[in-house]
Amino acid sequence: MKNGYSLHTFRGDFYGGLTAGIVALPLALAFGVASGFGAVAGIYGAIAVGFFASLFGGTPSQVSGPTGPMTVIFTAAIVTFADHPQAVLAVILLAGILQIVFGLLKLGVFVRYIPYPVISGFMSGIGVIIILIQLHPLLGAAGVGSPVEAVLQLPDSLANLNVYSVGLALVTMAVVFFTPSRISRVIPSPLIALLVGSVCAIIFKLPVATIGEIPSGLPRLAVPFFPVTLFPQIMSMALALAVLGLIDSLLTSVVADSMTKQKHDSNRELIGQGIGNIAASFIGGLPGAGATMRTVVNIKSGGTTRVSGMIHSIFLLAVLLGLGEYAAQIPLPVLAGLLMKVGIDILDYRLLRLFGRIPKQDLMVMVTVFLITVFVDLIVAVGVGVTLASLMITYRISSQSKIAVQGVPHQEWHRDLEKSLEEETDYKIRTLSVMGAFFFGTTAKMQDQVSKLIGTEVVIINCLNVPFMDLSGLFALSEMIDRLKHEKIKPILVVREGEGIRRHMLEMGYGNHLGADGIQTDYNDALHLAWEYLGDAPGT
């Protein structure tokens, strides 16, 4: 764009956006049906999120719209607020607002700090949820609202399966899985599968369920209003939707960067996604995020700027205005077959291939998040996963930190003090050495060492090998100093000057607590000072 927008660039954007729109059409219909909000809601969401996220977002070649993970959480919102459709749309509205806030607060960079086992377990769990829920329309049964319900009702669905539905779904899956790449590069395999499955059902008059009537024309604008009493539940789901959209979109942005050799703007991308989801809530559409498959198709077809994502939305709008009556005849087993492919693709095969070789702590986090995602709750899964991963990291760091009480090492004394210390002090001067990070995970070790210091008159707390000290560490150290002073033991701290620890200690009042010379930056100076204190002690 630095050299202007050329006809050549527009040609690439046009073909990229058109191809991405063709891929998005069957998926938008499928996600709309799967959510329970209707096929047209899927198209509305693809149009709104796709257009505005491209216009205002920070990844020029990214194409956005309804995705599997976002649809799963949205479906949970529909089940929760079954009697309040406006509350369901309010979840999307608040999620969009939260995404804008995340972008303004520049929180986009923090997605890289979410532990990979959490993302892996969550995404694989969502893949399994999609597969379990789509099993029922694939078998010719009525749709279900949750994976637990899908498991419980599976025997009934198997007992009353519709062989035509199963056959049609298998044909659809065969097309999307096995279409040669040289063909799918020209005509996307999901579109081929949609056409083949629909034509087979119509020609052979197969007794299978179809999408049904799709409203034509432009959607009606409306601001979602909801009872104030539902706000806590709505905000909880909106936060989950916003965070998932953040992860989904920015991971897709990373994929786009690797293909285009460009660098996306994470925070601007969040703002664009937020505006897109707000627009979707106003027209009754599904929430969306950056869609990896559509983005890859767009880039490979020539799309390079945000114009391509906008063209993708304009194409879907044209379909909505002119082809709704034909889309109504699409069989549900065909859409189920398409979504089975989506669910299978979401599974994290990269980690699954290493299942028996990854560290046990990471495996435990991944499996825990996976099980909670599938059988309990998506929001709880993310919270538990991040907390568990944080505890594991804390344990690993704290296990590498060492706190040891010892007599002052012989080699650290000047020659004129060595003999006197060894013969006369009888370990009345001791050193407590802290090595490694000193934070809330290691404070318990510090407290455990105090009992070993009874009988000592001067304690040098050597923190020269501490790279950082958090608030918990500072408070724990303060409490230990209080205990030492209570036992009539003189503490002397030795810290690095350049690490900022000494400055934090002085700001927190350690200078008044320890005295003017109680915080040293040189170990030998601390040893001399300890000897002077020992010489001034009563009875010496």
pLDDT, position 479: 77
Q: Is the pLDDT reported for residue 415 higher than 70?
A: no
Taking Cα atoms as reference points, which of 311, 350, 335 lies closest to residue 214? 335
Give the integer Cα–Cα distance in Å for 122 and 59.
Answer: 24
Domains for the chain: give ranges and CATH numbers.
9-392 (no CATH), 402-536 (3.30.750.24)
21-42 average pLDDT score: 85
What is the C-alpha separation between 365 and 83, in angstroms, rounded? 36
Q: How many whole angstroms separate alpha carbon 153 and alpha carbon 137?
A: 12
What is the mean predicted confidence (pLDDT) over 478-490? 82
Q: Output the DSSP codes for 374-392.
A: HHT-HHHHHHHHHHHHHHH
Checking if the pLDDT of 110 tops 90, the result is no
Nearest to 308 by CA among 5, 6, 8, 10: 10
What would the mean pLDDT of 150-156 be, rounded to a whole number? Answer: 91
Phi/psi of residue 193, nearest 5 degrees: -60, -40
pLDDT tens digit string along 35-93? 888 888 999 999 999 999 999 999 999 999 998 889 888 998 998 898 888 999 999 99
| Mean pLDDT within 236-252 | 89
What is the average per-residue pLDDT within 330-346? 85
Q: Among residues of the chain, what percentage have pLDDT more than 90? A: 26
Contact criterion met (CB below 8 Å) for 369 and 118: yes
Residue 152 has pLDDT above 80, yes or no: yes
For 331, which DSSP code? B
What local confidence, expressed as pLDDT, does residue 418 receive?
38
Sign of CA dihedral 330, 332, 338, 339: positive
Cα dihedral 380, 386, 389, 393 sign: negative
Phi first, then psi, for residue 430 (nearest 5°) are: -130, 155
Rounded CA gap, 173 and 171, in Å?
Answer: 5
Q: Two tokens at 224?
A: 């979602």
In this structure, the strands spanning 289-290 and 64-65 are antiparallel
Residue 177 and residue 367: Cα distance in Å, rounded?
28
Q: Judge whether 24 and 310 are in contact, CB under 8 Å.
A: no
CA distance 209 to 189: 22
Asked which of 302-311, 359-368, 435-444 is least confident by mean pLDDT, the reply is 435-444
Q: 458 — phi, psi (to 5°)?
A: -135, 130
The pLDDT value given to residue 289: 95
The residue ranking higher by pLDDT, 2 or 497, is 497
Q: Is 253 helix (H, G, I), strand (E, B) or coil?
A: helix
State the pLDDT confidence band at 268, using cuts at 50, 70 and 90.
Answer: very high
DSSP string, 59-124: -TT--EE--HHHHHHHHHHHHHTTT-HHHHHHHHHHHHHHHHHHHHTT-GGGGGGS-HHHHHHHHH
